[in-house]
A and B are shown apart, each in its own frame.
Chain A
């Protein structure tokens, strides 16, 4: 794979993120000196745990990118695996689904990422929505357990779509052939992950500092209109400012960032609704301060396929 090379722009992107993290760590440290009261201290502690986890996640992502395209495919395959594991754990299935789940985890998931690695767009874009969609109910029906059949099947299909299919569109960005941007797709993937995640962070920051009016208190008490507007607007501006790393013009880059951030917001909201319904706060506890893997990638899941297809339609 020759998608990733360390050009000047990549160095600027990586350097920028590292600088941002360094500044965040300093702010987190300053806040920890000033925090008063139990609630304030807990918030700052959680903030600092989140920042520490960010260092870790950036290191892992950077390492994956440095090993070339294949490293990114493996990283997102593992991410899908852990996210799907959290998702299926939370959505009750029955003994009759056991063999189906085995197929889902150990055949369909690796196959999807194999197809991404060999860049077979024609098949990776339909493997799960067509073939896995039909295979899953067949495999479960063979076991003869009819209880809650539609519900169980739908949950497995949904988990596979969100945790595997949607997430796999992130490394799939490496397979796009964009005229005049050959060999630079690594930056596009970096740009996408950066905008999706920084939008989350900025919505959190705006919400924590100015948030008053809740958007959907029954779904996610932390999402406010102030956080939404402030986060989306600033993330879109940052996206526009990073146009030089993408195949887009500044205006196109702003539009793309707006799509990423809006889809990301929607993803966060939907995945929260599932958590509320199941009566949990987080999907897991793998990433300190953030919760589970699914809690961190909910916005990526929803934004990745849309960003991929917009880019593919207009720029290839």
Chain B
């Protein structure tokens, strides 16, 4: 109930229309990786998934941000079922990769932002290695590039009041790690796949 309401509000504010360019909505296990420009990104991707997929798809988010304040904690734990990871000081005991693999399990999908933080410029930052390691450990999972457009204009970094422009979410063709493909090659290919979704 709360979930459907929040998803409807998110769609209304951002006017986000989902374009399924390279694949159809499906509950199979996937990792959606997207460019990151606004705090609304995860919310909008999550909201643009059909409800059965929404329940199985968990956004990966920074723990330091999402445990501050009761509202953020409530949203992260009860609405988004977020996977909160340590991005500042990963240790063997507190390893984001292990957390993500555990969260994926055998039925969930993930939303991740491999740039590691929100970008203020229009250029994407290089992708971090976590995406590669996920792809290496879970060759059975589809990796779907997602391009988010205009959300940085709706709610730019550092602003707290959204302006109601029209955003867009595009889902590209699923990819997997090729056999023998190296880290740099895979990450470059993944980033290019996100960029290629620009109209």
- The chain A residues found within 8 Å of chain B, CB to CB, are 81, 85-86, 88-89, 93, 95, 98-99, 101-102, 105, 284-285
Contact = CB atoms under 8 A, between A and B. Distances in A.
A89 B165 contact: yes
Interface in B156-199: 156, 159, 161, 163-166
Given A98-B156, A285-B17, A85 B165 contact: yes
Given A95-B120, A95-B156, A98-B159, A88 B17 contact: no
Interface string B31-51: 000000000000000000000
Contact of B163 (A86, A101, A285): A101
A167 to B, nearest CB: 17
A88 B165 contact: yes
Contact of A102 (B15, B17, B150, B161): B161
A98 B165 contact: no
- Please list the 6 inter-chain residue pairs (A to B) with the smallest Cβ-Cβ separation, ordered nearest first: A89-B166, A101-B163, A89-B165, A95-B156, A102-B161, A102-B163
A86 B161 CA distance: 19
Interface in B46-96: none
Contacts of A86: 166
Interface string B13-42: 001010000000000000000000000000
The binding surface of chain A is classed by DSSP as: helix
Nearest to B158: A95
Interface in B83-121: 120
A14 B135 CA distance: 62
The binding surface of chain B is classed by DSSP as: loop
B153 interface: yes
Contacts of B153: 89, 93, 95, 98
23 contacts: A85-B15, A85-B164, A85-B165, A85-B166, A88-B163, A88-B165, A89-B15, A89-B150, A89-B153, A89-B166, A93-B153, A95-B120, A95-B152, A95-B153, A98-B153, A98-B163, A99-B159, A99-B161, A101-B163, A101-B165, A102-B161, A105-B163, A105-B164
A30 to B, nearest CB: 33
Interface of B: 15, 17, 120, 150, 152-153, 156, 159, 161, 163-166
Of the candidates B17, B152, B159, B165, the one having the most CB atoms from chain A within 10 angstroms of its own CB is B165
Contacts of B150: 89
Contacts of B166: 85-86, 89, 284
Nearest to A90: B166
A131 to B, nearest CB: 20
A182 B23 CA distance: 60
A81 B15 CA distance: 12
A95 B122 CA distance: 11
Contacts of B163: 88, 98, 101-102, 105
Contacts of A101: 163, 165
Contacts of A285: 17
Contacts of A105: 163-164
Nearest to A96: B156
A120 B43 CA distance: 42
Contacts of B152: 95
A306 B36 CA distance: 46
Given A85-B165, A89-B166, A102-B161, 11 more contacts: A88-B165, A89-B15, A89-B153, A95-B156, A98-B153, A98-B156, A99-B161, A101-B165, A105-B163, A105-B164, A285-B17
Nearest to A279: B199
B121 to A, nearest CB: 10
B39 to A, nearest CB: 14
A85 B167 CA distance: 10
A99 B153 CA distance: 11
B37 to A, nearest CB: 11
